[in-house]
Amino acid sequence: MALEWLDSLDGVDLAELSNLYEVAPLGHKTPADLDIAFSNSRFKCFVYDAGRLIGAGRALADGVDCSYICDIAVHPDHQGRGIGKEIVANLVELSKDHRKIILYAVPGKESFYKKLGFRRMTTAMAIFKNQAQALERGLVNET
């Protein structure tokens, strides 16, 4: 059966989406938080296989200057089949009229995104709600 690709949050089971992030594994994201995050994102991508959610991603975008691609997740049973690459490609295409497309990657996944045309930024900086945890996970450094 062919995969089904959707670009709307309408009809998405938020508990199923939350479970996808848990098993991907990209951490715990509550259904309520995902509802807010995806509702406030300009571009969305959901991938279904036989009615089961197996992939998702989103992009926060202002329509002109910046699109930020984030929360790319593929169910472990479907990883390694190019689905993540297609999700990113879809979001990049939707973001193509922006001056810059930024992506936040989980440490260790940088080479995957480099193959898709992304390059490491030298000036990116962040403030995390839990800075100590971000430092521990290698998301930021002290310098």
70-87: pLDDT as tens digits? 999 999 999 999 999 999
In a domain, 116, yes or no: no
Question: In whole angstroms, what is the distance from residue 11 CA to residue 27 CA?
Answer: 23
Query: Quick check: is 135 in a domain?
Result: no
Q: Mean pLDDT, to the nearest integer, of 14-28?
A: 95
For residue 22, being part of any structural domain is answered with yes
In a domain, 123, yes or no: no
In the chain, which ranges are E strands?
4-6, 43-49, 52-61, 66-74, 100-103
- Predicted TM-score (pTM) of this structure: 0.89
Tell me whether residue 29 is in a domain. Answer: yes
Span of 25-29, 85-89, 137-141 with lowest mean pLDDT: 137-141
61 has which bridge partners?
67
CATH number of domain containing 56: 3.40.630.30
140 part of a folded domain: no
Mean pLDDT over 21-46 rounds to 96
d(CA 9, CA 5): 12
Domain for residue 139, yes or no?
A: no
Measured between alpha carbons, how far is 65 from 90 in angstroms, rounded to an integer? Answer: 18
Q: Please report whether residue 141 resides in a domain.
A: no
Between CA 124 and CA 141 the distance in angstroms is: 12
How many domains does the chain contain in total?
Answer: 1
Q: How does strand 52-61 pair with strand 66-74?
A: antiparallel
Q: How many CB atoms lie within 10 A of CB 45?
A: 23
Domain of residue 78 covers 4-104
